[in-house]
């Protein structure tokens, strides 16, 4: 089952999107369409997609017309073929025209992220590896972009910097090395979800293993080096208390190879920063 989304919790964010788009007023709609005209709008899939954000889509129109009524034919997480209609909205014609772009932009973007995530998830089926997102999100849209990843079957990594310790290359350099960074991070144990450190070679991995972090991030390694690293981690930690994560250079073409190398997690920044928006249209007819 896909996660649920409380669209009303994002009303302020949606309002800000509308303010940005409307400016001082939708002059075209005001001059061409009567204020009393009612209409029905249909969302239509123009390409294969995984639906994500349909509640947000309809909430945009409720902000412009409190009497707007939504008819949901599909729900988030469903796969739509071209021509499928996931929802209809009945509202003021002016509201439908004015909110169309904001509502469609969100639905296209989130459904694109869900579709790309679903493709990665299917590519690693049966391996035990989980597909994760990253913090490479659009400022202001993180919660929604991460929601799309969940809809697609992926797993959320850190939601923010406070959730977990993730010691990366720059932290290591400034702290004075892997050993110094992990020793300092022990003070957070029990206060954060996990302590993780990034390593780029077997030497750094050996240093990290000596301090038993919760997660070891194998960054920008080849699949064969990832496999060697996972074997070393398992030899050091046969109870599998430590998780391994692969990141960097992961694509649909090679993700299966990384998964078969034995990692627990595979993080893919593209799920949020490079997922192509899917093609949807919104056709409005008078009532």
Task: List, in order, residues 6 or more apart from 142 with CB less than 8 Å away.
Answer: 135, 159, 160, 272
Is 168 an active-site residue? yes
Q: Band of the pLDDT at 1, cuts 50, 70, 90?
A: low
Q: Please say if the pLDDT value at position 230 is more than 90.
A: yes
Residue in 11, 38, 46, 101 annotated catalytic? 101
What pLDDT, in 10s, does the model give residues 25-41?
Answer: 999 999 999 999 999 99
Residue in 122, 168, 173, 206 annotated catalytic? 168
Q: What percent of the chain stands above pLDDT 70? A: 99
Residue in 219, 227, 245, 264 annotated catalytic? 219
Contact (CB, 8 A) for 53 and 74: no
What pLDDT, in 10s, does the model give residues 48-68?
Answer: 999 999 999 999 999 999 999
> What is the rounded CA–CA span in Å between residue 226 and residue 230?
6
- pLDDT for res 2: 67
Boundaries of every domain in the chain: 7-121+275-286, 126-273
CATH no. of 126-273: 3.20.20.70
Q: What is the mean pLDDT of the chain?
A: 96
Q: Please say if the pLDDT value at position 71 is more than 80.
A: yes
**Per-residue pLDDT averaged across 162-189, rounded?**
96
Is 101 an active-site residue? yes
**Per-residue pLDDT averaged across 149-158, rounded?**
96
Q: Model's pTM, two decimal places?
A: 0.94
Q: Please say if the pLDDT value at position 181 is more than 90.
A: yes
Largest CA distance in the chain: 73
**Per-residue pLDDT averaged across 281-286, rounded?**
97
| Phi-psi map region of 195: left, alpha, beta (phi>0 left; psi -120 to 50 alpha) | beta
| 7-121+275-286 shares its CATH topology with 126-273 | no
Phi, psi of 217, deg, nearest 5: -95, 115
7-121+275-286, CATH topology level: Aldehyde Oxidoreductase; domain 3 (3.90.1170)
Residue in 46, 84, 119, 136 annotated catalytic? 136
Is 227 an active-site residue? no
């Amino acid at each position: 089952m896909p996660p649920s989304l409380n669209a009303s919790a994002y009303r302020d964010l949606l309002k800000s999107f509308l303010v940005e788009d409307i400016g001082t007023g939708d002059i075209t709609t005001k001059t061409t369409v009567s204020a009393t005209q009612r209409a029905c709008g249909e969302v239509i899939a123009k390409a294969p997609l995984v639906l994500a954000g349909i509640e947000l889509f309809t909430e945009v129109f409720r902000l412009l017309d409190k009497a707007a009524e939504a008819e949901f034919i599909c729900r988030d997480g469903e796969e739509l073929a071209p021509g499928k209609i996931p929802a209809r909205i009945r509202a003021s014609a002016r509201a439908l025209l004015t909110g169309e772009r904001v509502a469609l932009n969100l639905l296209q973007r989130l459904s694109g992220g869900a579709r790309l995530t679903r493709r990665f998830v299917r590519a690693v089926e049966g391996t035990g590896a989980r597909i994760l997102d990253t913090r490479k999100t659009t400022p202001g849209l993180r919660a929604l972009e991460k929601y799309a990843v969940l809809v697609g079957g992926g797993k959320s990594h850190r939601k923010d910097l406070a959730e977990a310790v993730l010691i990366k290359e720059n932290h290591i350099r400034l702290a004075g090395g892997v050993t110094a960074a992990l020793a300092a991070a022990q003070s957070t144990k029990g206060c954060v979800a996990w302590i993780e450190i990034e390593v780029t070679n077997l030497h750094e991995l050996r240093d990290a293993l000596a301090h038993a972090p919760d997660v070891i991030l194998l960054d920008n390694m080849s699949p064969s080096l990832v496999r060697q690293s996972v074997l070393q981690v398992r030899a050091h930690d046969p109870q599998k208390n430590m998780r391994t994560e692969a990141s960097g250079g992961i694509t649909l073409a090679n993700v299966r190879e990384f998964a078969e190398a034995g990692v627990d997690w595979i993080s893919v920044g593209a799920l949020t920063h490079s997922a192509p928006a899917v093609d949807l249209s919104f056709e409005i007819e008078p009532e």
